[in-house]
Amino acid sequence: MPVRQLPEQVVNRIAAGEVVERPASVVKELVENAIDAGASRIDVFTDGGGRRRIGITDDGGGMTAKDLSLAVERHATSKLDDEDLLQIRTLGFRGEALPSIGSVARLSITTRHASEPHAWALTVEGGEKSEIMPAALAHGTRVEVGDLFYATPARLKFLKTDRTEAEAIREVVRRLAMARPDVAFTLAGEERAPVTWAAALPGGAGRLTRLGDILGAEFRSHAIEVHAEREGVVVAGYAAAPALTKANALGQYLFVNGRPVRDKLILGAVRAAYSDYLPRDRHPVLALFVTLDPREVDANVHPAKTEVRFRNAGLVRALIVHGLKEALAREGRRTAANSGESARSSFRPAFTPQRPASWDWRASPSAPVAPMPSFDGAAAPAFAERAQAAFDVGAPSADVRIETQPVADLVDRPLGAARTQIHETYIVSQTRDGLIIVDQHAAHERIVYERLKASLAANGVQRQILLIPEIVEMDEATVERLLERSEELASFGLAIESFGPGAVAVRETPSLLGKTNAGGLLRDLSEHMAEWDEALPLERRLMHVAATMACHGSVRAGRRLRPEEMNALLREMEDTPNSGQCNHGRPTYVELKLSDVEKLFGRR
């Protein structure tokens, strides 16, 4: 078959296959055009998941009749002042969107420029352009797209249901609305109730308001501000506290110079920054905005402009990791699960008694008529009578020894003064305005983990030599896996060597762990190592080892603590970074303010 030049219509349809993948692609291109035109308000309407109709209206600068005629031609754009593709400061620049859409759908554009006496309209159907006609429009531009893919029916069978396509459109508009909080957006259609995001004030407060409107009030209340800058690259935005997570990475948004992009760079950077806070199967929610010189990033690597390529990707990744780690360390003890509101919502009263609005518990018939005698710490006489012996059911599951009134300075500390231990697992402490319940194992696990990291960074982990090496038997594959990582384990003070087929001899353990179950520790380590690959950075592998060791070296649930031990643990938590959650992302404590307790009992 000889080589021949393809007709213009075929060329446009081939280009449309790259640019117009589905109705959401059309919405993306048209909304980006509206933003580039300086619009302050953009209205989006869809019908049939965008298949039957898409309407975009904006109040931007509009086009003259001459510009309108040229806009639907291939590779015609107003967004490049010269031929330098490294100085792209707009969302669009390829000049392919409108002719591509017009080649596969019925396209109608009505626009008015401030210099024109009236508006102008133009239609394109299946690649055929009509004459420009006068029209009525106050200002801005209105674009209508109908019967999408009518000119290429084969493409229709690749579309999903109307609801799925409408959700894809919603996600596109959400991303663009997050990128430009100064622009008001309205999204409406048969598939959904209309939603409006009002224009927000400039600056961080306005950005957080827009993110809260889109990602939800829960994100807004638990958002932590992120900011890092180096060598002309700025990373800013908001990340949710570690307790607010999702089962996938769909809640992570990256914007580069105002352009929403999908980049594997952010996935690895976020995973590295949150590695000390979250379990492996949970993902944080965040929105990060990267600003840098346009010459340092190439936006012309994908027809739909959804991907970019950084000149110095390592710098951007390091800055994202640094910014997130710094923000999380700054808000180390603040997590969503620590809050009194979260804890109070976990209580479910069996019933809610009806009472007058002016009810006062002090006026209740059951209120004492005289002051109650103070409790001096000794058992009441009635409980010492022989008749009470029938109620003796054994030792309680809590340390109920009453301590003297806590020292004032301990009550004023952030985690208060320890009052008791319940179920030999949880420490209850009293603060000046409430109470705190601490999970002793999770809290001490974080403390041991941070100590291991500090020791490794300073001068290496101190070791203790076992008088008699402990022999641990495992299958040969597991033994080989452990011996391959023996040098990494040795850096944490765990010295192992082969002891014949299917056995490992443990000769040294980290002194920080004290007496530990070497067999259980090695089995847990081998399970984690089975999930690693060689691409996982050494630092990440070492932190996995440290986390596993910390879990084995911490105070276990079920151990009864003395009051001084409980207070010592609370003081260490206050001095330990990131003590609000353990290495697996679980909260280490829950705080209830006195006002929260009063709400539970209906006093407020």
Residues in the chain: 604
pLDDT band for 466, please (50, 70, 90 cuts): confident
**pLDDT tens-digit readout, 152-175:** 887 788 888 888 899 999 999 999
Instruction: Give the C-alpha distances (Å, rounded to integers) separating 56 from 114, 128, 188.
Output: 19, 21, 11
Checking if the pLDDT of 232 tops 80, the result is yes
Helix orientation angle between 8-19 and 97-104, rounded to the nearest 10 degrees = 110
In this predicted structure, what is the pLDDT of residue 9? 66
The DSSP line for 537-575 is: -HHHHHHHHHHHHHHHHSPPTT----HHHHHHHHHHHHH
Q: Cα–Cα distance between 560 and 429 in angstroms, integer?
A: 15
What string of DSSP letters covers 215-278? H-HHHHHHEEEEEEEETTEEEEEEEE-TTSEESSGGGEEEEETTEEE--HHHHHHHHHHTTTTS
Average pLDDT over residues 3-24: 71
pLDDT-wise least confident of 23-27, 112-116, 271-275, 355-359? 355-359
Rounded CA gap, 20 and 38, in Å?
23
Q: Which residues contact 37 (CB under 8 A, 6 or more apart)?
A: 58, 60, 61, 62, 140, 141
Specify the range with the lowest mean pLDDT, choosing from 3-17, 100-114, 126-140, 590-604: 3-17
DSSP state string for 506-532: EEEEEGGG-S--HHHHHHHHHHHHTT-
Residue reference for tokens 């209850």: 428
d(CA 295, CA 228): 20
Mean pLDDT confidence for 278-294: 87
In which band, very low, low, confident or very high, does the pLDDT at 535 lie, cut at 50, 70 and 90?
very low
Q: With cut-offs at 50, 70 and 90, classify the pLDDT of residue 548.
A: low
Within 13 Å of residue 216, how many CA atoms lie on the same side as its CB? 8
